[in-house]
Amino acid sequence: MSQLIGGRDARGADAPDARGAGRGSGADARLQPETLQAMLARSARRVWWELPRVLAVGALWAASLLPGVLSAVVAAPWWIVVIAIAPAFIGLTGVARYGALVVTGGKPLVREALRLDLMLGLTLAAGAAVVAAVIAAGGAVMYAGFGIGAGVAVLAPLALAYGAVRERRGLTAWRGAIILAAYRPSTALTLLALGCLSGFAIVATAGVLVLVVPVLLAAFGAAAAGALLDEIDSAQAASATRSAGSTIGRDDRMRRAG
């Protein structure tokens, strides 16, 4: 697991603040981990400080979403809708990267949102296609589609966040998401719930919040994923220290016995 979890931050540097995207600093942060509510508040502040560029990133992603929205409005077949919305799934990987840079205190340029993970985006689109196809089949199979859709919806935010924070791409990001979701299911469900609420908020504001909400969710996801990664790293380090201490103690006893 250490090979999977360990890595570089969203800026490509082995900086402790990126791995601890969900943490404070110093001994107090280790004793009192940042709560999800505090992470969300910090993410909102960082997004506000970078609002002009955040709006530009949101506008770019909204443009990638237009083909899918239009195909849904004209009641196109489900497979056409999925193909049309694929650019938006790919664009989400750039939004996730930009959000990760913002929440770690950086001042990223808009072009950072154009550094896309094509493989991760296509797997997101493929997941949506499978779910749509199974549900469209109707009958008892339709319920399997709902189950697959729920699994994809739970893992997708963590896959985007993990890939952005640790610069993991494609299937590796999904593997990291599975580990993080298994380690702390409540965080995965929180991200899913916020995504659903944000969708309602975007619809209620006639799409205005689509310029801000995606980056805000990406920033919060990066903070939450960074906190989990930091916690896992600390647990692994403590386990390795205990194992080394046990080995040294056993060797000492063997030498005294000899």
10-residue stretch averages of pLDDT, the chain, 258 residues long: 47 41 42 80 93 94 91 85 91 95 90 93 92 85 89 94 92 94 93 92 90 95 93 83 65 60
- Say if residues 118 and 83 touch (Cβ distance below 8 Å): no
pLDDT (0 to 100) of residue 76: 85
State how far the Cα of 64 lies from the Cα of 90, in Å rounded to an integer: 9
State how far the Cα of 8 lies from the Cα of 155, in Å rounded to an integer: 21
Domain locations in the chain?
A: 33-249
Exposure string of 49-77, with b = 16+ CB inside 10 Å and e = fewer, is ebeebbebbbebbbebbebbeebeeeeee
Residue 187: φ, ψ to 5° = -70, -40
pLDDT (0 to 100) of residue 252: 59
State how far the Cα of 244 lies from the Cα of 66, in Å rounded to an integer: 56
